[in-house]
Amino acid sequence: MKEQYDVLVIGGGPGGYVAAIRAAQLGLKTALVEDSALGGTCLNWGCIPTKSLLKGADMVRALKHMSTFGLSADNVQFDLSTLVQHSRDSAAKLSGGIEYLLKKNNVLVVRGYATVVAKGEVRVKSDSDESTFFSKHIILATGARPKVIPDINPDGLNIWSYVDAMTPSKLPASLLVVGSGAIGMEFASFYCDLGVDVTLVEVQDRIMPLEDRAVSVYMEKEYRQRGINVLTNTQLDTTANTSGGIQAKLRHSSGSEQTVEVEKILVSVGIEANTGNMGLEQLGVDLQRGFIAVDQWCRTNVAGLYAIGDVAGGPCLAHKASHEAVMCVEKIAGIDDVRAINKSAIASCTFSYPQVASIGLTEQQAKEKGIPIKLGVFDQSSNGKAIAIDEPKGFVKTVFDQTTGELLGAHMVGYEVAEQIQGFAIAMALEATEQEIAHSIFPHPTQSESMYESVLDACDKAIHH
Ligand SMILES: Cc1cc2nc3c(=O)[nH]c(=O)nc-3n(C[C@H](O)[C@H](O)[C@H](O)COP(=O)(O)OP(=O)(O)OC[C@H]3O[C@@H](n4cnc5c(N)ncnc54)[C@H](O)[C@@H]3O)c2cc1C
């Protein structure tokens, strides 16, 4: 079978399916190839199922504090398999929704593994079939997979990948989480709430090393208070199975060694791009640190070949993938006013307890760039809504350019801050100054007032602290 398309997308995650739908909306004849479930990592094994699980953990934690609100309950039961099933059902429902949207927009969905055999030519192999498609434009949206530590390969038994951690058949008594990026932090939080004895190991000198230092310090203190054993400057060297689980040899940056025995180890040390076995080497596609190198419109060095989402480099987030998808396709369609993506103004969120949300420059990054800055900080413990709902953890820190007053970055810890950071994202997109944000009126009582107070603090006008 030979078919000619305007746009052929490889990968059906939040990069690929959004690209395909937008291309079809713009009148381009579009096909999408997916080897696994539609929705990619995000919907099936990432953003969505983890949030479902974390909601369960939130409820378990809320039960522990219900007496504050006059509630009591006897004989509360918890069934892990129901919680896991709910997360799988959420993923399946959304994946089905993507299939419906693609069909509704007349996108041809091809099931199988795609290889770019020549410029404009893609071969798709499935168990039962092999087909060739020709397309003027090919968009690679093949995502990423978990990085592994040499000789410590997830086996689904004692050494878990994030997929195993999302589908436990029973709770382990103890868990060693290796890596304190968003994924490690979320799973550490989840398992801690469910009563598992959690150790969190980070090779850098602080957990959440990409965040503002104040966030790392706060979250380490919080996690320790919750009983999580946090080990920084520490790396996992070797493992050995034991009768009850697994023994992990940890090495501190000073050279000292420590052995811990746990039931499971979760390796969450980052991701690497899915670039192999797709014909990219033969085409001479440039890579940069393992990711496909692209220009500001997501064009690779090969004419007619584009890359979006995780495979094209960080920040590896679903909303970055979807935004690049629309931008890339609109550029292909010749739309005039397409804007290149500003990667320094993409919010990132960690749905741990408490949550972390941030955007733009940290205090340290601004200083390293030699920018004179003004800082604002406000503690959630002084926010009326936070006190009323008994969620007083965290703070909001804002970073402004002292000369121009422009908002350079915002760093939030607290209850549902992931829902609030978009306020600062809009402010940054509009290049708003602290005076402009201070002139907007924040509704009361909301936790967003902490954002306002942080900005007022930067202007030396804070009221509530
Ligand atoms: C545990 C976890 C939690 C996460 N939580 C969040 C979160 O809260 N918020 C957030 O923004 N991000 C989160 N992420 C990251 C997010 O999932 C990714 O950034 C996002 O999925 C990237 O989208 P993508 O379209 O680039 O790739 P993917 O979603 O990975 O999709 C790529 C697709 O391509 C397919 N594919 C690959 N190669 C081929 C081929 N040759 N032929 C056919 N099909 C192919 C794959 O099967 C896959 O379906 C999380 C990730 C993980 C692992």
Low-confidence ranges of the chain (pLDDT < 50): none
312 alpha carbon – ligand 1 mean position (Å)? 12
- Ligand 1 pocket: which of 41, 271, 275, 317 to mutate (most atoms <8 Å of CB)? 41
Bond preceding residue 354 cis, omega within 30 of 0: yes
41 alpha carbon – ligand 1 mean position (Å)? 3
Residues annotated as catalytic (active site), given as ranges:
444
Confidence (pLDDT) at 244:
87
- Decide: 44 in ligand 1 pocket, CB within 6 A: no
13 alpha carbon – ligand 1 mean position (Å)? 5
Confidence (pLDDT) at 399:
98
193 alpha carbon – ligand 1 mean position (Å)? 26
The residue nearest atom 52 of ligand 1, judged by CA position, is 46
Confidence (pLDDT) at 286:
98
- Decide: 245 in ligand 1 pocket, CB within 6 A: no
Which of helix, strand or coil describes residue 389? coil
Q: What is the rounded distance in angstroms from the CA atom of residue 268 to the CA atom of residue 228? A: 17
383 alpha carbon – ligand 1 mean position (Å)? 36
- Decide: 357 in ligand 1 pocket, CB within 6 A: no
Closest C-alpha to 271, from 235, 311, 307, 298: 311
Confidence (pLDDT) at 369:
98
Radius of gyration of the chain (CA): 24
Confidence (pLDDT) at 1:
52
Confidence (pLDDT) at 50:
98
Confidence (pLDDT) at 177:
98
- Decide: 396 in ligand 1 pocket, CB within 6 A: no
Q: At residue 206, what is the residue type?
A: R
- Decide: 138 in ligand 1 pocket, CB within 6 A: no
Who's near 459: CB < 8 A, 6+ residues apart? 374, 376, 434, 435, 438
List of E strands, 119-233: 121-125, 130-140, 144-146, 159-160, 174-178, 197-201, 229-231
Confidence (pLDDT) at 279:
94
Q: What is the rounded distance in angstroms from the CA atom of residue 316 to the CA atom of residue 41? A: 11
Q: What is the rounded distance in angstroms from the CA atom of residue 329 to the CA atom of residue 306? A: 10
Residues 94-130 have pLDDT tens digits of: 999 999 999 999 999 999 999 999 999 999 999 999 9
Residues 254-306 have pLDDT tens digits of: 999 999 999 999 999 999 999 999 999 999 999 999 999 999 999 999 999 99
Confidence (pLDDT) at 2:
66
Q: What is the rounded distance in angstroms from the CA atom of residue 207 to the CA atom of residue 205? A: 7
The residue nearest atom 35 of ligand 1, judged by CA position, is 11
- Decide: 142 in ligand 1 pocket, CB within 6 A: yes
Q: 0.85 exceeded by the pTM?
A: yes
